[in-house]
Amino acid sequence: MSLGYAEKLSYIEDVGKVGMSEICDPLHVLQEKIERLAVMLRKSKHLVVFTGAGISTSCGIPDFRGPKGIWTLQREGKALPQASLPFHRAMPSMTHMALVELEKAGILKFVISQNIDGLHLRSGIPRDKLAELHGNSFMEICSSCGIEYLRDFEVETIGLKETSRRCSNVDCGAKLRDTVLDWEDALPPKEMNPAEKHCRMADVVLCLGTSLQITPACNLPLKSLRGGGKIVIVNLQETPKDKKASLVIHGFVDKVIAGVMDRLNMRIPPFVRIDLFQVILTHTLSSDKRFVNWILRVASVHGQKAPLPFIKYVEVSFLDGQNYKEAVLHKQPFQLKRRTVKTKIFEVLLKLNFSDGCGCLSSQIKVPIDFKVSTDCFNYDKDAILQKLRDTATGDPCCGRHEVIEKKPIPDPRSEATVYAIVTNVLQYNKTAPESNGSVMKGRLGGLNGIETSWKRSRSGKRKPRS
């Protein structure tokens, strides 16, 4: 295949980014290997992908053993990089979204990840086709009934400890736990068992951005060899498993996968992030029954005491010529208290000012104030509404669009909660680099709280074996 000027220029730029301990295949070799990988994926009947920290470095989340990795910098006595944006606003890479497309096409059967950033789930990989071996910084689980709760904020603990929230199952109510393992924790059978099963079934295990040094996880791809499967490794550094692999590609994961998708004539879908929040109206009659004392709250759908991380502050104004005092709500929980005449029906305008990492600065929502609270629960077709939001955002990349997905009464105190879905990021991808509708991609670096506290305790690379 002849190489165009753009491909050569892109390769030169990539080589300039390679660290001293990293390797990048010569351009003609890289192109040949990408062709081989595309053929392998086209023929594959049971593809399994095994991912490590290198798949998320382009999302601004540092790896561990790379030249700017957490462990490398610690070993050299250098300071860890400061986060320019919070961890919870990190967005999937080109590779994450390519895997989503491969799964939808029926090529990719299962994903095994060592990462705790939650980006595979956020990108759209189905939960039943994903094993998160080391946990998920945004996931809580009920140790009693097993229900999982995916949050939009980073869970405050690690090491499978109890958190401050409880299971919302009315028949349960047990305390929830985080899912991120500490070094002394064994890999959970719930994740490990399906991972082992699919590796045994795999005809190709594609290892992306992993040093394959953390045991016992690094031995999972080897289980495919007994059944005649092949291992492919894409990484900028050599790994201990290179000799077992049928194909080793030294290059940037995003560039390799983009090349594979191009040869398969498959698109890399855009990423549309949709966040949820609820507006709760609570009211009581005054003692003389002439007025209504009411409270308007903008709150998390994960509980009224849970943080709402993507909203910085809320501006409140009144429509229909209502002569009520405007307000700016800076402190969570965002809450406005007012007293009005009982018979009044009017609209409130909420201007939601978004936190750093969102694709636009703000969005406005009109909220009708009607004190005749319905006792009915209005359940909308949530999946259809969310898909419509994604389709609209993809066709016209713009954040801030929103829709109501649920209305429900709260009997005590008398309230009504309206749940909104709102588009907060739209990210388009091309062959060379992602394009964002906002400035999120400029110097994006996920917060290090979850990563640093989870992994800095040990560098042995060994975990407690399963009992």
Active-site annotation, residues: 134
Both tokens assigned to 307? 């943080």
Exposure string (b/e) for 260-272, b if CB count within 10 Å is 16 or more?
A: bbebbebebbbbb
Please tell me whether 172 is known to bind a ligand: yes
| Secondary structure string (H, E, C) spanning 363-393 | EEEEEEECCCCCCCCEECCHHHHHHHHHHHH
Residue closest to 48 by CA, chosen among 210, 203, 269:
203
The residues facing 185 across adjacent strands are: none
How far is Cα 134 from Cα 179, in angstroms, rounded to an integer?
Answer: 8
- Angle, CA 443 vertex, CA 315 and CA 363 arms, to 5°: 20
Both tokens assigned to 77? 């006595």
Please tell me whether 145 is known to bind a ligand: yes
Residue closest to 138 by CA, chosen among 125, 124, 123, 157:
157
Please tell me whether 398 is known to bind a ligand: no
How far is Cα 195 from Cα 154, in angstroms, rounded to an integer?
Answer: 25
CA distances from 101 to 96, 126, 235, 274 (A): 9, 12, 21, 19
Residue closest to 149 by CA, chosen among 172, 176, 170:
176
How far is Cα 71 from Cα 252, in angstroms, rounded to an integer?
Answer: 20
At 39, which helix (H) or strand (E)?
helix 27-43
Exposure string (b/e) for 334-353, b if CB count within 10 Å is 16 or more?
A: bbbebebeeeeeeebebebb
At 247, which helix (H) or strand (E)?
strand 247-249
Q: Give the residue numbers of the binding site for Zn(2+).
A: 142, 145, 167, 172
Q: Give the residue numbers of the binding site.
A: 142, 145, 167, 172
